[in-house]
C-alpha cells in the first residue's frame, strides 16, 4: 500500500485498541489515545525504510534517504544469507527484513528501552520522529507541497506539547506499566502495532509480505503471505484509494468514539 493508507490504517488500529481497552474496563487516558494513534500512524510508514522511493525516505531530507539506502543493503544481505532454494532471487531488500514480525518486535522493544532509559529527551526524540512521519502520511498532499522545515517544526511542536501533557499526573506517562522507572515503557506498543499493520496491508497487495519470517512455509523462509491472488490489488489502485482508505477512516472514527465511551 501507499503511505497515506498505511498511516490511516495505523491510526485506526490504535484507536481500535483504545476501544477494546475501554470495553475491557481499562480505558486509556485521552492523551495516550491521541499520542498512540499518531505514533502508530507514523510507525506504519517505518517498514518502508528498505525502499529508497518511499515516503519515509524524504521525511528527514538527505539523512532519511541515506538511512533507507543502508537499511536496503542490510535487508538484502539478510535475505541472501537466510533464503532457501524455494525463495526467489532478489536484487534489493524491499519487503524483506523490515516487513517481518521480528523487525516490528525489535524496533518496538528498542524504542521502549530508549524511552525508559533515555529520559525526557529520548521521549521527545521518539515523539518527534513519529509526529513527522504521521504528518507525512496523514497529510500527504499538504506535506508534499510544503517546506520540509515547516513539517519538522510542526512535528517538533506537536511532540513538545504531547510530552508536556503526558507528563502531567494521570495523563498516561505510566499507562499500563506503573512500577517506578517504567514511565513511557508503553511507547513501544504503538510502534510494534504500526509496523505489523503495515505488513498486513502490504500482504493484501499482489506481491504479498513475508511477515512470518523466519518461519518456513511451503519450502520458503520468505514466504509472501497474503489472501488468494484474486483478492489482492496493486499499491495505489482504486481499491486502495476508494475502498480501503474510507473503510480505515470509518473504523478509526468508530474506534475513537468507542475508546472515549460514546458507543
Q: What is the mean pLDDT of residues 166-189?
A: 90
Task: Compute the 3-state secondary structure of the chain and give helix, strand, coil in percent, each to the nearest 5.
Answer: 65, 0, 30
In the numeric block, the cell 510530552 is attached to: 163
Contact between residue 210 and residue 96 where contact means Cβ atoms under 8 Å apart: yes
Residue closest to 198 by CA, chosen among 156, 137, 129, 144: 137
**Residues 199-244 pLDDT 10s:** 999 999 988 999 999 999 998 999 999 898 878 888 778 888 888 8
d(CA 200, CA 202): 5
What is the model's pLDDT at position 67? 92
Q: What is the pLDDT of residues 118-152, one digit of tens each?
A: 989 999 999 999 999 999 988 876 656 567 788 89
pLDDT at 129: 95
CB 45 within 8 A of CB 198: yes
Residue 3 banded pLDDT, cuts 50, 70, 90: confident
Q: Which three cell numbers stand for residue 83?
A: 533464503
Grid cell for residue 134: 504521521
pLDDT, position 228: 87
pLDDT of residue 141: 60
**Beta-carbon count within 10 A of 235 CB:** 16
**Alpha carbon distances (Å) from 249 to 13, 15, 51, 96, 166:** 10, 11, 26, 28, 26
Cβ pair 152, 132 in contact under 8 A: yes
For 18-29, what is each residue's pLDDT tens digit? 999 999 988 999
Between residues 206 and 189, the one the model is more confident about: 189
Grid cell for residue 33: 489515545
Distance, C-alpha 115 to centroid of its chain: 17
Confidence (pLDDT) at 198: 95
- Tell me the average pLDDT of the chain: 91
Angstrom distance (rounded) from CA 223 to CA 210 = 5
% of the chain with per-residue pLDDT over 90: 64
The pLDDT score that the predictor gives to residue 54 is: 80
Nearby residues of 117 by Cβ (< 8 Å), 6 or more positions away = none
Say what angle helices 188-203 and 3-23 make with each other, to 10 degrees.
120
Q: Is the pLDDT of residue 34 over 60?
A: yes
Distance CA 92, CA 255 (A): 37
**Residue 52 pLDDT:** 79
- What local confidence, expressed as pLDDT, does residue 88 receive? 87
Global pTM? 0.93
Amino acid at each position: 500500500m501507499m503511505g497515506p493508507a498505511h498511516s490511516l490504517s495505523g491510526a485506526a488500529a490504535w484507536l481500535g485498541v483504545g476501544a477494546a481497552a475501554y470495553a475491557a474496563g481499562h480505558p486509556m487516558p485521552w492523551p495516550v489515545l491521541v499520542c498512540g494513534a499518531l505514533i502508530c500512524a507514523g510507525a506504519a510508514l517505518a517498514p518502508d525504510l528498505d525502499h529508497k522511493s518511499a515516503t519515509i525516505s524524504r521525511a528527514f531530507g538527505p539523512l532519511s534517504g541515506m538511512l533507507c539506502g543502508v537499511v536496503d543493503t542490510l535487508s538484502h544481505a539478510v535475505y541472501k544469507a537466510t533464503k532457501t532454494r524455494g525463495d526467489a532471487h532478489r536484487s534489493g531488500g524491499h519487503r524483506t527484513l523490515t516487513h517481518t514480525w521480528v523487525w516490528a518486535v525489535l524496533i518496538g522493544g528498542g524504542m521502549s528501552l530508549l524511552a525508559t532509559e533515555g529520559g525526557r529527551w529520548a521521549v521527545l526524540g521518539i515523539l518527534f520522529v513519529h509526529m513527522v512521519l504521521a504528518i507525512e502520511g496523514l497529510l500527504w498532499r499538504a506535506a508534499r507541497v510544503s517546506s520540509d522545515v515547516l513539517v519538522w517544526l510542526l512535528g517538533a511542536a506537536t511532540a513538545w506539547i504531547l510530552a508536556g501533557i503526558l507528563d502531567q499526573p494521570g495523563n498516561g506517562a505510566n499507562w499500563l506499566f506503573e512500577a517506578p522507572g517504567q514511565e513511557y515503557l508503553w511507547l513501544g506498543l504503538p510502534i510494534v502495532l504500526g509496523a505489523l499493520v503495515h505488513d498486513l496491508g502490504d500482504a493484501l497487495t499482489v506481491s504479498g509480505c513475508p511477515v512470518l519470517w523466519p518461519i518456513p512455509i511451503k519450502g520458503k523462509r520468505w514466504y509472501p503471505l497474503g489472501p488468494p491472488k484474486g483478492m489482492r490489488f496493486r499499491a495505489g489502485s482504486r481499491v486502495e484509494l476508494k475502498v480501503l482508505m474510507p473503510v480505515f477512516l470509518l473504523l478509526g472514527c468508530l474506534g475513537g468514539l468507542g475508546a472515549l465511551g460514546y458507543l
